[in-house]
Chains A and B, each alone.
Chain A
Amino acid sequence: MNSRYMIIFCLFFLFVTNLSAESSEVKDNQAKDLVTKAVEHWRGKSSYMVAKMLVWRPDHERTLEFSAKTRGREESIVKFTAPAKDAGNATLMKKEDVWSYSTKTNRIIKIPPSMKGQSWMGSDFSYQDLAKDAEIIYQYDHKIIVRPNESNANTTTVESIPLDSAPVPWGKEELDIRSDLVISSHRYYDQDMKLIKTLKATKIDFIGGRIYPVTARMTNEETKSWTEIDYLKAEFDTQFGENEFTTTALQKD
């Protein structure tokens, strides 16, 4: 009699735990799908952008202008057009690799993995931030922590925790994704779960035929310095030549 109860209890326990695991998996997949769609919305199948970048520091500020091309999830190239001192400098991202080109030296440097946390062009963005578009989809575990509610009708907050193998310095990241797939805020936490920097969409508008964070500000929460990127022009799903995302393309005007 006792053993019969025991078997029934075990089967019930297995059923409940299995159901719970399946439910958790479904939730994780939902979160991952949402992040994937948001990243795809941001980049499109391919995109061409013209933008202005303002780097603000307590004692000075400077403005740079650049054009950026992206293709798929893993290829991007950024070329600076102003000021004259930086015009021609370029950065290429392919998968996890980043190359930098300087007109002054006429040399292409591959950014070593250990230096990807360094500032990109003196801004509050790091090379890591530029290269990780696809990383956040594949190298993180995602979980929805806040669903749209009465106070925040159309935003879902996803907590993304990097896998042990992910080459990132963060302890976790949090993304606020609107129902129209615009990432309105992206918060970066260190290993002690201390907020280090925040990328916030300060202006969301139509550009290139889609709703988009046309102005985004990355704020360093420790120093309160910030960098704001203002997209002036955008084209999505454009066609690029085969050699647009190669180190050779870095040196072309």
Chain B
Amino acid sequence: MIIPALSLGYRNLYRNIKRSIITFVAIAFATMSLVFFISLQNSAYDTSIGISTAVLYGNIQVQQNGFFPDSNFNKSFQTLEPEILKKIKSIPDLQALTYRLEAFGIFAAKEKSVGGKIIGVSAGTEKTVSTVPGVINKGAYFSVEDSLSNKGKAIIGSSLAHSLEINVGDEITLLSKDDSDSSVAEVLIVKGIFETGLKEADSNLIFIDIDYFREIFLLPNKNHSLVIKTNSIEAVKRVKNEISAILSNVPELKIITWKDLMPGLDQAIKLDVAISSLFYSTLLLVIGFTLSNTFIMSVLERKKEFAVLNAIGTSKGLLSLMLIFEGLILIISGVIIGTILGCILILYFSKTGFMIPGSEEVAKKLNINSVVYPWITFKSATLGPTIVFLIGCISLYLPSRAPYKIKSVEGIKN
């Protein structure tokens, strides 16, 4: 019964070849659009998360309970045991990690003074987690080989340098407080000036060597955060769970991700997903109704034919199956071709980059690259086609029931 139904269904596509082609093209175009736009959208999100986390936050941070969200200075933790750190480092998809310490302070030079954050970093490992060491536009970053030479030196943001009217080699005075609430006052020499393009970082941050930080703030062997970079944004949840398992015996430590550190970015992405879901839903609804309309029309114009076939002994079940196969051939071929075309488009733009016209200014403000180089994931390549396929199947329901309502005699007469 299946083979004859499949054969009849296939041949019926040639009854009205123009309609079949239009239906096929509609399915293929919808599938291609979904594959392309979902991949593009996910790639854009990952790119902007990657750019934002790479400057400072990393993808995951391990902190003492109570440190987040106010950067409570008194909530620091001892450097982890080498064995625990080794276990964390061996987690697949964990790319790099580094310790940091931070404090709020007042920075002054000559007559000028501003408030900001001073961050203690380890010169060697900071480079593997943050983009700051790579965007020094004046002077140099801390020395990895000679860590003693980093003592008393500072790397400062370009906007901060501009506000304080200082340059490489100039002095900057730091005023803050240490772990015992005593005042900390130090004179630092500007070794390098960085420019990330992020206003928050460029106008507020000063980096000093972490050992020097520990010395002046009286925090021997202490840290405020272990900043972790993962191979991909997708891996964040998995790596976080593995770190949680490793640190299960250290309840005073808390593990947070970029979503906690940058809730604004997370919410913006969620909002964008919600808006684009509406667009996708509309597209799918139109496709669903178009398919349903096409299939119903093809049934209505063949009422007499079905009545004759039924009268000469063709079962209603076979007629229904024939209609289902007729529709499925169109849907499956359309979905396959659409998926292939979508993937080809993505591959093409992954080489050349996809730029949203007129988005340069907005992208600059949001620190998002206006040119996106999309990539395909299993999810982005299958999500759209699966939904198109399911909608197509639903739209087949009504036409497939039509043969059961046919009355042979009346149908032939009409």
Residues of chain A touching chain B, judged by Cβ–Cβ distance below 8 Å, are: 55, 57, 60, 62, 85-86, 89, 100, 102, 104-105, 107, 109-112, 114-115, 118-119, 121-123
Also in contact, A112 and B113, with CB within 8 A (given A107-B173, A119-B177)? yes
Are B181 and A57 within 8 A (Cβ)?
yes
**Hey, which chain A residues are within 8 Å of B186, CB to CB?**
104-105
Partner among B112, B115, B182 whose Cβ is within 8 Å of the Cβ of A62: B182
| A55 to B179 Cα, complex, angstroms | 13
Kindly provide the distance from the CB of B44 to the nearest chain A CB, expressed in whole angstroms.
Answer: 35
Tell whether B308 is near chain A: CB-to-CB under 8 Å.
Answer: no
**Hey, which chain B residues are within 8 Å of A62, CB to CB?**
180-182
Also in contact, A121 and B183, with CB within 8 A (given A109-B106, A112-B106)? yes
Are A118 and B180 within 8 A (Cβ)?
no
Q: Which partner residue on chain A sits nearest B172 by CB separation?
A: A107
**Hey, which chain A residues are within 8 Å of B183, CB to CB?**
86, 89, 102, 121-122
Partner among A86, A102, A111, A119 whose Cβ is within 8 Å of the Cβ of B113: A111
Also in contact, A86 and B108, with CB within 8 A (given A105-B173, A109-B175, A112-B113)? no
Tell whether B148 is near chain A: CB-to-CB under 8 Å.
Answer: no
Interface string of B3-22 (1 = CB under 8 A from A): 00000000000000000000
**Hey, which chain A residues are within 8 Å of B111, CB to CB?**
110
Are B115 and A112 within 8 A (Cβ)?
yes
Tell whether B104 is near chain A: CB-to-CB under 8 Å.
Answer: yes
Are B185 and A104 within 8 A (Cβ)?
yes
30 sampled A-B residue pairs with Cβ under 8 A:
A55-B181, A57-B181, A60-B180, A89-B183, A89-B185, A100-B106, A102-B185, A104-B186, A105-B173, A105-B185, A105-B187, A107-B185, A107-B187, A109-B108, A110-B112, A110-B113, A111-B106, A111-B113, A112-B106, A112-B113, A112-B115, A115-B113, A115-B115, A118-B106, A118-B115, A119-B181, A122-B180, A122-B181, A122-B182, A123-B181
**Hey, which chain A residues are within 8 Å of B177, CB to CB?**
119, 121-122
- Ranked nearest first, the 10 interchain pairs of A and B with the lowest CB-CB distance are A122-B181, A102-B185, A115-B115, A109-B108, A107-B173, A122-B177, A105-B185, A104-B185, A105-B187, A114-B115
| A61 to B183 Cα, complex, angstroms | 14
Kindly provide the distance from the CB of B336 to the nearest chain A CB, expressed in whole angstroms.
Answer: 59
| A102 to B185 Cα, complex, angstroms | 7
Q: Which partner residue on chain B sits nearest A99 by CB separation?
A: B113
Kindly provide the distance from the CB of A224 to the nearest chain B CB, expressed in whole angstroms.
Answer: 14
Taking A104-B185, A123-B181 as known contacts, 13 extra A-B pairs with beta carbons closer than 8 A to each other, sorted by chain A number, are A100-B106, A102-B175, A102-B183, A102-B185, A105-B186, A107-B173, A109-B175, A110-B108, A110-B111, A110-B112, A112-B113, A118-B104, A118-B115
| A114 to B163 Cα, complex, angstroms | 14
Tell whether B114 is near chain A: CB-to-CB under 8 Å.
Answer: yes
Partner among A57, A89, A107 whose Cβ is within 8 Å of the Cβ of B108: A107
Q: Which of B147-191 contact A (CB under 8 A)?
A: 173, 175, 177, 180-183, 185-187
| A42 to B114 Cα, complex, angstroms | 32
Q: Which partner residue on chain A sits nearest B108 by CB separation?
A: A109
Partner among B106, B112, B181 whose Cβ is within 8 Å of the Cβ of A115: B106
**Hey, which chain B residues are within 8 Å of A115, CB to CB?**
106, 113, 115
Partner among A55, A57, A100, A123 whose Cβ is within 8 Å of the Cβ of B175: A100
| A100 to B173 Cα, complex, angstroms | 11
**Hey, which chain B residues are within 8 Å of A112, CB to CB?**
106, 113-115
**Hey, which chain A residues are within 8 Å of B113, CB to CB?**
109-112, 115
Interface string of B31-51 (1 = CB under 8 A from A): 000000000000000000000
Kindly provide the distance from the CB of A248 to the nearest chain B CB, expressed in whole angstroms.
Answer: 15
**Hey, which chain B residues are within 8 Å of A109, CB to CB?**
106, 108, 113, 173, 175
Also in contact, A86 and B182, with CB within 8 A (given A107-B108, A115-B106, A118-B106)? yes
| A62 to B111 Cα, complex, angstroms | 32
Kindly provide the distance from the CB of A23 to the nearest chain B CB, expressed in whole angstroms.
Answer: 44
**Hey, which chain A residues are within 8 Å of B181, CB to CB?**
55, 57, 60, 62, 119, 122-123
| A72 to B320 Cα, complex, angstroms | 99
By CB atoms of chain A within 10 A, which of B108, B114, B177, B183 has the most? B183
Interface string of B279-322 (1 = CB under 8 A from A): 00000000000000000000000000000000000000000000
Kindly provide the distance from the CB of B114 to the nearest chain A CB, expressed in whole angstroms.
Answer: 5
Kindly provide the distance from the CB of B34 to the nearest chain A CB, expressed in whole angstroms.
Answer: 46
| A187 to B24 Cα, complex, angstroms | 74
**Hey, which chain B residues are within 8 Å of A118, CB to CB?**
104, 106, 115
**Hey, which chain B residues are within 8 Å of A121, CB to CB?**
177, 183
| A173 to B108 Cα, complex, angstroms | 31
| A118 to B175 Cα, complex, angstroms | 11
Kindly provide the distance from the CB of B74 to the nearest chain A CB, expressed in whole angstroms.
Answer: 8
| A118 to B106 Cα, complex, angstroms | 9
| A115 to B103 Cα, complex, angstroms | 13
| A89 to B182 Cα, complex, angstroms | 11
Q: Which partner residue on chain B sits nearest A124 by CB separation?
A: B181
Q: Which of B95-153 contact A (CB under 8 A)?
A: 104, 106, 108, 111-115
Kindly provide the distance from the CB of A54 to the nearest chain B CB, expressed in whole angstroms.
Answer: 12
Kindly provide the distance from the CB of B204 to the nearest chain A CB, expressed in whole angstroms.
Answer: 10
Q: Which partner residue on chain A sits nearest B111 by CB separation?
A: A110
Kindly provide the distance from the CB of A141 to the nearest chain B CB, expressed in whole angstroms.
Answer: 29
By CB atoms of chain A within 10 A, which of B113, B173, B180, B187 has the most? B113
**Hey, which chain B residues are within 8 Å of A119, CB to CB?**
177, 181
| A119 to B180 Cα, complex, angstroms | 13
| A85 to B113 Cα, complex, angstroms | 24
**Hey, which chain A residues are within 8 Å of B115, CB to CB?**
112, 114-115, 118
Kindly provide the distance from the CB of A233 to the nearest chain B CB, expressed in whole angstroms.
Answer: 24
Q: Which partner residue on chain A sits nearest B181 by CB separation?
A: A122
Kindly provide the distance from the CB of B79 to the nearest chain A CB, expressed in whole angstroms.
Answer: 20
Kindly provide the distance from the CB of B152 to the nearest chain A CB, expressed in whole angstroms.
Answer: 12
**Hey, which chain B residues are within 8 Å of A57, CB to CB?**
181
